[in-house]
Each structure stands twice: as structure tokens, then as C-alpha cells.
Amino acid sequence: MFNAPPKSVVDIAGNYDIKKLKDLFSVIGSPDKTLDFLRTMLTSFEDIVSEWFDQEFLKAPLARLASELGAPPSQKNLAIGAIMMAMRHNPGMARPRGGTGALTKALLNLVQSSGGVVLTEQAVEKVLVDDGRAAGVRVKGGTEYRATRGVISNIDAKRLFLHLIDASDADAADPDLRERLERRIVNNNDSLLKIDLALSEPLRFPHHNHQDKYLIGSVLIADSVRQIEVAHSDPILGKIPDSDPSMYVVMPTALDPSMAPEGKHTLWIEFFAPYEIAGAEGTGLNGTGWTDELKNKVADRCIDKLAEYAPNIKNAIIARRVESPAELSARLGSFKGNHYHIDMTLEQMIFLRPLPELANYKTPIEGLFLTGAGTHPGGSISGMPGRNCARVFLHAQQPIAQTRSGCAEVSQINGRICLPNCLGCRQSLFLSFLWVTGHWVGGSACPARDSASYTFM
């Protein structure tokens, strides 16, 4: 289901073989199983973990992982987070050697080897529409790039239709779309503060039977389900949940030493925080209330908390960089700090993402396609939004010739790619027409500050 356009029955059915059908019917085979599955999808993740587990040391980190979708574990219909966790085991997760940037480089080489042109530092200011059809883009400075086959956008639908397309063009295509995007799409103010550290030595967990293999995966600081609840409900209200921080920690060099000088390490911390701080609206960076002093104060508290588990961290820090939600949002081009473009809750997933009329990657404007984290199946490094969009794009060019193997032909199309020097945007745009993996919208290693990105051919 994830690996197909969500409104295409043919494509969805094509993903199922006998084994997958058996797996499906093992979950929803009988009427009672189907109803139980529906009940599970409508309940909260907190209810699910309480149904299956008793110990807090298990429930808390599971709740933390489920809440990565951007909502507290008590929120109803967040059970989809359980599915996301299952996918960490099957089909599993992997990291490219050299970091996510190495994947970007590989994709760049592939595009260039097929005759593609990549433009960076080209902030798109407007999508050009001629006679109801997407005709290209205009970048900052006035240069226009014209498209012959179409425009593929991987920014969120709100910014695309409310900020980068003339209202008259959008209204001519669908007079209700702009208001539906403005009023119906939910972003709950839950964003990220990111801390990058250079370390002289790896983390050590002396109170928890330390083993180096623990550092290969992710480290979750999650003491209780209640702590996770506060960590995600406070940001919705504009509060910073830093009195007892919960966080997600990764030390990439534990698995890939090539990412730091010999004997040294890198580490990043993901801490959920509000994009806009209550009572400080209109102040700070971009009117969000965030300042350098505040972000560093919050970072200090996060490191203090981590030191309760890994006491050596403070003496191991060589350098650090802290990005507030406002800064990270500006660098990634995420609308109001939402790195998934829109919340990944059930009412905004599958054929409802971002809206039913946009869910199959086409838009009401002919020749304009939408991909990225705000489309099915959502954010993370999967490549699926781009691959799915590529299939729809190809079908639009040759409706009769749509096949599964057709996706491989996209890389042979001689065209031009226009996108900013942004890791997350770059990857998903490549994937808009290359059948490979690697769609990312998170906050770990994006070097640019551009606000919009497009593919046009």
C-alpha cells in the first residue's frame, strides 16, 4: 500500500504476491479481525502499548517512537505509529556509508550521467501557469525556467498553492482548493530543536551495562509515558518541555567512523519543541519567539539530561551547533516547522494526504504534480513518495504504457532539474523520477537555506 499511488487500485494490487496476501489476511482475514484492526487504527498508541505491555521501561520508548509522527501518545488515531515502528524491523532500516550526503551524491551522479542538469541556490519564487497548465518556475532574481512536460513540486501543498501560485490560477483550476488547504490541513506546532555535537570520545552508559553495540542504533531518552505525553502536548500549547527533556539521540560514527577524524565522533540530538512560543509571538527569529540565548539554554538542559545516562558527554564535547525550530524550518523549507509538511495522523494519511483531491500526486493544474513528505506515505528515508509520483507522472505522459518497469525509464528522460542545495528536498526531487530509495525530510544533515524546490522536464 505504501509503495503505490494511494488511489490507484491497479498499482496497489500489483504490490501483492501470495505471501503478502497471506500476511494481509492474517491481520484482517475474518470479520472480527477486520473490526479489531479498525478499532486499533482509531485508538491511541498509549492504549495499544498498555494493552500489550505492563513495564514502563518498554512502554515509554515505544511511545516515544510512535510520537515521532508529531502528536502525543494519548491522541486517538495515532496507532499508525505502531505500523511505522514495525517497518523499522521489516523491511528494516539502513544508512549510507559517509552519511545521508553520500546518498545525495550518488543520486546526483546518476542524474548527471543521464544528461540531467542540477541547479542549486535557486530559490523558487513563483510557479508559472499558462492557460491553466504549469509552464515552469521563476527563481529569485527573475530567471525563468520553462517546462515542456510538467512541474513536480516537493514543498508542502499550502506553500505551493497559497504562496507560489497566483490566486487567480489556483481558483481557475479549483475555486475551493485554497480555502480547503488553509482551513483543513492540520499542523499542531510540534517542531524540532536540533543539537549537533563533535565529541572526543563515544558516549558511555556506565549505569546501564554499557556495550558499544548500543550506540549503533538510536538512543531514546524516555523515562515514562507521561514524560512523552508532556514532551508532545506542551509544544502544541506553545510551551517548551525542557524541565525533564525526552529526546532522540544518534551517534552516526559508531556505525560509520569515516564521518569524523580517527578516534572522534559526531552526535545529534532531536528534541521536540514548539515552533511558535506562547506569549512571545512576533518576537525573536521570524516572529516565533526563539532567540540564540533561549535555544542554547534549552540545549544545555538536554545535555544535562543526557549526562544522567552518559556522564562523560560534557567533558567529551569539542564543539556544538544548536538550531532552533525557527532556524531548522528556514533551512529545510518546512512550513511552520513541520518536517513532515503536515501532521502524520490517520485523518491526513494514505488517500487523504494532504487532501483527497491531491492524494494521487496530481493537482487541479494540468502538468503540476506534488510529491514529498506531505504526500503518501509521508516523511522518512523511503523514496516512496517520489517513486509513486514518478509512476503517476509517467502515466500522464503515456497513459497506455504505464507499467511497473516504466519507472526505470524515467532516468532516461533528458530534462533539467531545478532545486535548492537542500539534502531533504534534493533527495525527494531526484526520486520524483528515479527508481531508487532515499526520501528524507528530517533534521539531520541538510546544508542549505533555500525555501522551495522543483523538478521540471
> According to the 3-state scheme, what is the secondary structure of 111-155?
HHHCCCEEECCCCEEEEEEECCEEEEEEECCCCEEECCCCEEECC
State which amino acid sits at residue 16: Y
Q: 170-199 pLDDT, tens per residue? A: 999 999 999 999 888 877 888 999 999 999
SS3 377: coil
Which residues are registered as beta bridge partners of 220? Answer: 248
Beta strands 218-221; 144-146: pairing state: unpaired
CA dihedral 401, 405, 410, 412 (to 10 degrees): -100
Q: How far is CA 148 from CA 133, 365, 455, in A?
A: 10, 15, 12
**CB distance 337 to 326 below 8 Å:** yes
Residues 311-353: tens digit of each pLDDT:
999 999 999 999 999 999 888 878 888 888 888 777 777 788 8
User: Which triple of cell numbers denotes residue 347?
Assistant: 485523518
Q: Strand locations in 246-375, DSSP E?
A: 247-250, 265-274, 317-323, 368-370
Give the span between the Cα atoms of 455 and 457, in whole angstroms: 7
Q: At what angle do helices 45-52 and 225-236 cross, to 10 degrees?
A: 180
pLDDT of residue 433: 29
Phi, psi torsion values for 400, nearest 5 degrees: -80, -25
Instruction: Please give the angle made by the CA atoms of 284, 288 and 291, to the nearest 5 degrees.
Output: 35
DSSP 240: -
- Determine the pLDDT at residue 11: 66
Q: Contact at 8 Å (CB) between 302 and 272?
A: no
Q: What CA–CA distance (Å, rounded) separates 100 from 80?
A: 26
CB-side exposure of 386: number of CA atoms within 13 Å? 31
Strand partners for 418:
119, 454
Per-residue pLDDT of the chain (457 residues; tens, 9 = 90+): 666 676 676 666 666 667 766 776 666 777 887 888 788 878 888 888 888 899 998 899 888 888 887 788 888 877 766 666 676 776 677 778 888 888 889 989 999 999 988 888 888 999 999 999 999 999 999 999 999 899 999 888 998 999 999 999 999 999 999 999 988 887 788 899 999 999 999 999 988 888 888 888 888 899 999 999 999 999 999 999 999 999 999 999 998 999 999 999 999 999 999 999 999 989 999 999 999 999 999 999 999 999 999 999 999 999 999 999 999 988 887 888 888 888 877 777 778 889 999 988 999 999 999 999 888 888 877 888 988 898 899 888 876 555 444 443 333 333 333 333 333 333 333 333 222 222 222 222 333 323 333 333 3
Cβ atoms of 227 and 333 closer than 8 Å: no
Query: What does the pLDDT read at residue 25?
Result: 67
Amino acid at 170: A
* Other beta carbons less than 10 A from residue 231's beta carbon: 26
Per the confidence metrics, is the pTM higher than 0.85? Answer: no
Q: What are phi and psi of 68, to 5 degrees?
A: -55, -25
Q: What 3-state DSSP class applies to 8?
A: coil
Q: Is the dihedral of CA 53, 59, 61, 62 positive or negative?
A: positive
Dihedral of CA atoms 351, 354, 355, 358 in degrees, nearest 10, equals -80
Closest CA to 384 of 395, 398, 371: 371
What is the rounded distance in angstroms from the CA atom of residue 326 to the CA atom of residue 328?
A: 6
For residue 14, what pLDDT is reported? 64
